[in-house]
Structure formats: structure tokens, C-alpha cells
Structure 1
Amino acid sequence: MKRVINFSGGKTSALMTILLKPTDDDIVLFTDTGREHPLTYKFIDDFEKNEGIKVHRVGYEHKRSPGLTGFDAMTNWKTHLPNRMKRLCTTELKINVARRYLRPLIGMKFEQFIGFRFDEPNRVKNYKHTYKGVYTKFILFDQKVTKEMVNQFWLTKPYTLEIPSILGNCDLCFLKGKDNIIKIMAMYPELADKWIEDERRANVGRKKKDGTFFPDVSYEGLLKIAKSQTSLFDLDKALPAYNCSCTN
């Protein structure tokens, strides 16, 4: 059976990929939202170069958003923005993109591997996959691999992901929580621009200005708070407010 290895661009999924020793028949799949930190893309380049493993990189496109990809393409034409309760970004940018890419290549019967660790039992327990013929495996959980073990592994390598884990995945994802977003904006205010533009675009033509990622505050408002901070924060200790299961 064909194997699909879900590669998020982080250290955990990269370790899982190495342990699986993919062959040319396997597909190491990175579904790119276009909102990753620049150093995540550098890490993927370094991974391919050092490990000799090809990463299939795919992204979302839509005919109503010519010339745009990923998150930009989705928010350019969607009438509402994703939020914690309606995570259309996961569906559109991850799940559907992966299905469209894989179906003509290998069909919809395969083993898929997801990098949930032993110290993430709730992610394993709550994972839901309803596609008949797709069999999901969590080898890091099965092998009792923890975050500390992942970090120790990358100390042995000549390259690594050079950002705190809170900056992984979409850089200012609403699932990180408002407090963490403020902390990140305080250090990297330039990351806010594209998210603010999403909200401005979503509010065009609306009588009620409710096109925001959070119901009670805009990203522009969060940026103002971040700029008022008198001290910076230790992002290495920051943890997402909500569980992110943005897997394929």
C-alpha cells in the first residue's frame, strides 16, 4: 500500500519522516498555506538537501483569485473568515488540497502518517478521519517519542528549525490565542500586515464590520496592543491556547 507522510515543516514531522525512511514510492506531503514563517521554508529546503528526501509542496488555488495562492487566495474570495469554531482554512488549505493532489497520483487508498507525539495523547484521541480506504498511523505516539526527545534529536543535526515552536504553522493563527499573537506581534509587527488585510478585505461592503478572526477584536487592534508593550516576551515558553490539528 502507498504511504503518505504528512510533513508540516516542523521538527516533529521531520523526525517522523526520517524514521520512516521514505522510498521513491512514498509521498512526503507539505500543504503550504503561504502563512508560514520564512525560516520554516528554509528548514524544508535544508531538510531536502541534508536528508536527500523529496518533499511534495502543494498549495491552494482558486479561479476567483488569479495570481494568488494559499491563505491569500482563500480570503480573497470567501465571504467570511475562518475562526476557532469554523476552521474552513484547515478544510480548504490542508484536507481538500491534499485530496486533489493525491487522488490522480495514487487514488484514495493509502496509509498516512501524522506526527502526533506521545505527550500529545488528546490529539491522537480526538483525531477524526472519515475517508474510507485511508489508514492513519501515529508512529511517534506508538514509539513514545516526546517533545524533549525530538529536541534532543535535532541537536545532533547540522541544521534545525531556527524559530520557537509557537511560530510554527501559520505565523499568527487565531488558534495560538490573543495573548500569544500579541507577544509575537510585539517582536515581529510586520507579520500582522497580511492578517489585517484579510480582515479589511472581508469587511468590504458589509454594514456590520464583523469580518474578523476573533469576535471581539481585530488583528489591527491586537497590533495596537502589541505596540504598546514596554517589554518583549520569551516566545520559547509560549504554548498555543487551542489545539491545532491542521493535518491533511
Structure 2
Amino acid sequence: MSAPHPAYRIKGPALISFSGGRTSAFMLHEILRAHDGQLPEDVVVAFANTGRERAETLRFVHECGVRWSVRIHWLEYRPAGFEKVSFNSASRNGEPFEALIAAKGYLPNAVTRFCTSELKVRPMKHFAMSLGWERWANVIGLRYDEGHRIIKQHVANERRKERWTTLMPMARARHTKRADVMPFWLGENTDPLAPLMPLPQGFDLGLRDYEGNCDLCMLKSRGALKRLIRDNPGMADWWKAREASISARSAKATATGRRFVTEYSYADLEREVTTQPFMPGLLGDDDDLEFDVECGLICAPSLEAAE
């Protein structure tokens, strides 16, 4: 293996945002290599759990920490800020997400995506501030092949509306999903759920790209959501319950605030799954997207108002 790229030498204070997916785990591994396996005291790693993460994601985050001997701070949203949890105590049935929805009185959707800003970005911000930091570097796993997101982050850095400056070492190192991330984890294997050869690192996330982190994320295509519901009976129950609860009880919720997706409900999706024949291969335009919980890179609004 070649020497780590200089971009992975991180100067603190810095918070490494670990999404729980293969990309950010690759980034963390390279940062550790660049620091000879030991991070500086003012460079910390954090993972924000919404309670709707896949069980495979939680296991993967835990395993990365144990195998690589790095402390990963597990955080969860609380109305007053955040709470530190662990692999064992982390919420697994959407409790932080449900509490946020109850506080808001309406549901996030493709236009109003407050789930990311409140459940992930804000807890990490408050955690960094709890360390006494006024300003810091926010290290995120954006690859070189994610050009539009990289541009978006550069623009955000120039605006300087947040307490942090975003660093993208994978983009600087020109590391991509196809050439670097997937071979690192899967080697010559093509199916992560049925590897034919030993895994290069001895372990892996164990999910296909469309399965992602947040189990039924509203940003996934209709086809992907239907396949997930078909393959995982009961997965839609939590989402259906939130939509039903808001519709029945909340005066705050407009028509768009009563569904995660404006065009259809999760009950509609489940009904389609149970009444229509299975059409393999029809996931939608995001079949090749990696839903690895870097959702904050896609949709988190500015937190300037929280300063």
C-alpha cells in the first residue's frame, strides 16, 4: 500500500464526521494511517445516530472503532442539544427522530429536510462546542467523484456562516468510489452480501448501496423504497406510524407536512408491494447512489440561526 496522501494529515481542532458508511470509514482509515494510527488529542471522531440507522451500520461503526483502536463518540439528538451514547445504549427504534417530529409538529420531506440538520449536524456542533472549541475543521467524506457536492461545500466555506470550515481530504486526494473505496472493502468481490473471496479488511458494512444507512430515507427512489419494504417486512411500520400520528393530531402540519414524500405515503408503498408483482432491477435513478449517511452533505441547511 502506498503512503497516505498528505490531505489526510488533519490539524486540530477538528471533528471527523463519520457517517457509518464505507466512504467515511475509508476516510477515517486513511486519516489514521497518516497519523501513524493515533489521532492528535484535538482531532475527534463522531457518529450521530438518528435511531433509524440499519443494524448493519451500527455494527460497522462499532467494529471500525474496535479494530482500528480509535474512539468514536456516539451522539444522539436531544431537545436541549445532544447526549453521548454507545453501541449498546444507542437508540434502535427511531426514538431521537420521533422526539424531533413531536417537537416540530410536522414531518420532514424533500423540501424541508430538517431531519439531517437537527439529528446529525446540530448534535455534532454542540458536541464540538462542549469541547471548548469556538471554531474548528469539519472533516467529511466527500470523494473526488462527487463534484457538485464538493462545489457546494466550497461555497459554504467562503460564506463563513458556520463555526466550522469543511475539509474534504478524499476530494483533495482524488479518491473515488470505484477506484479506491469499493476495492478497499470488497476487493474483487461484486456482491457485499455474498463475497466469493476473503474481504481485504476482514470485515465490511454488509449492505448494498441502495440499502443505505437510514433504512427508508425519503430521498431514495420509489423503486428502492419498495424493494426495501418487500425485502424487510415491518420496516415501514415506524414510518407509517409517524405519518398517521401527524395526520391525526397535529394542527401545525400542512398537507406536505403530513408525509415524508409529497406524492405518496409509506402506507401507499406497502400497499403497492403487497398487491403488485415484483419487478426486479427497477429501483430508479438512484440505484448506484451510496446512501451511507452522508445525507448531511446533501441536504443540511445552514445552522447560522443557531449561533
TM-score using structure 2 length: 0.72
Q: What is the CA distance between 1:238 and its match in structure 2?
A: 2.0
In the alignment, which residue of structure 2 is the partner of 1:150? 181
Letter in 2 for 1:48: G
Q: What is the CA distance between 1:240 and its match in structure 2?
A: 4.8
Q: What is the CA distance between 1:62 and its match in structure 2?
A: 2.7
Matched, 1:82 2:108: yes
Counterpart-to-counterpart distance in 1, 2:76 and 2:223: 29
Which secondary structure state, in structure 1, belongs to the residue aligned with residue 109 of structure 2?
Answer: coil
Structure 1 alignment gaps of length 5 or more: none
Matched, 1:195 2:244: no
Counterpart-to-counterpart distance in 2, 1:187 and 1:35: 17
Counterpart-to-counterpart distance in 1, 2:185 and 2:163: 34
**Aligned partner of 2:79 among 62, 81, 87:** 62
Matched, 1:226 2:273: yes
In the alignment, which residue of structure 2 is the partner of 1:43? 60
User: 1:76, 1:201 within 8 Å by CA — same for their partners in 2?
Assistant: no
Which secondary structure state, in structure 1, belongs to the residue aligned with residue 47 of structure 2?
Answer: strand
Letter in 1 for 2:69: G
In the alignment, which residue of structure 1 is the partner of 2:288? 239
Q: Encode CA deviations 1:44-91: one digit per residue, 9 max, x unaligned.
A: 11111111111111011237xxx9842121123321100111111112
Which secondary structure state, in structure 2, belongs to the residue aligned with residue 17 of structure 1?
Answer: helix
Q: What is the CA distance between 1:233 and its match in structure 2?
A: 3.7
Q: How does 1:117-196 map to 2 (within 5 A)?
A: 117-127=143-153, 128=156, 130-148=160-178, 149-155=180-186, 156-196=200-240
In the alignment, which residue of structure 1 is the partner of 2:305? none
**Aligned partner of 2:97 among 65, 71, 83:** 71
C-alpha root-mean-square deviation of aligned residues, in Å? 2.6
- The percent of aligned pairs where both chains have the same amino acid is 27
Q: Encode CA deviations 1:177-224: one digit per residue, 9 max, x unaligned.
A: 222211211111321111111101111235898311122211111111
Which secondary structure state, in structure 2, belongs to the residue aligned with residue 195 of structure 1?
Answer: helix
TM-score using structure 1 length: 0.88
Which secondary structure state, in structure 2, belongs to the residue aligned with residue 34 of structure 1?
Answer: coil
In the alignment, which residue of structure 1 is the partner of 2:25? 14
Q: What is the CA distance between 1:124 and its match in structure 2?
A: 0.8
Which secondary structure state, in structure 2, belongs to the residue aligned with residue 86 of structure 1?
Answer: coil
**Aligned partner of 2:49 among 32, 44, 60:** 32
Which secondary structure state, in structure 2, belongs to the residue aligned with residue 176 of structure 1?
Answer: coil
Q: Encode CA deviations 1:112-150: one digit per residue, 9 max, x unaligned.
A: 211011111111112335445522111111111111210
Q: Encode CA deviations 1:139-175: one digit per residue, 9 max, x unaligned.
A: 1111111112101111310111001122223111111
Which secondary structure state, in structure 2, belongs to the residue aligned with residue 56 of structure 1?
Answer: strand
Counterpart-to-counterpart distance in 2, 1:197 and 1:170: 16
Which secondary structure state, in structure 2, belongs to the residue aligned with residue 190 of structure 1?
Answer: coil
Which secondary structure state, in structure 2, belongs to the residue aligned with residue 238 of structure 1?
Answer: coil
User: 2:209, 2:290 within 8 Å by CA — same for their partners in 1?
Assistant: no
Which secondary structure state, in structure 1, belongs to the residue aligned with residue 45 of structure 2?
Answer: strand
Counterpart-to-counterpart distance in 2, 1:142 and 1:41: 28
Structure 2 alignment gaps of length 5 or more: 1-11, 33-38, 81-90, 187-199, 301-307
Residues 37, 233 of structure 1: CA spacing in aligned structure 2 closer, same or farther, 3 A cutoff?
A: farther
Residues 162, 173 of structure 1: CA spacing in aligned structure 2 closer, same or farther, 3 A cutoff?
A: same
Matched, 1:109 2:135: yes
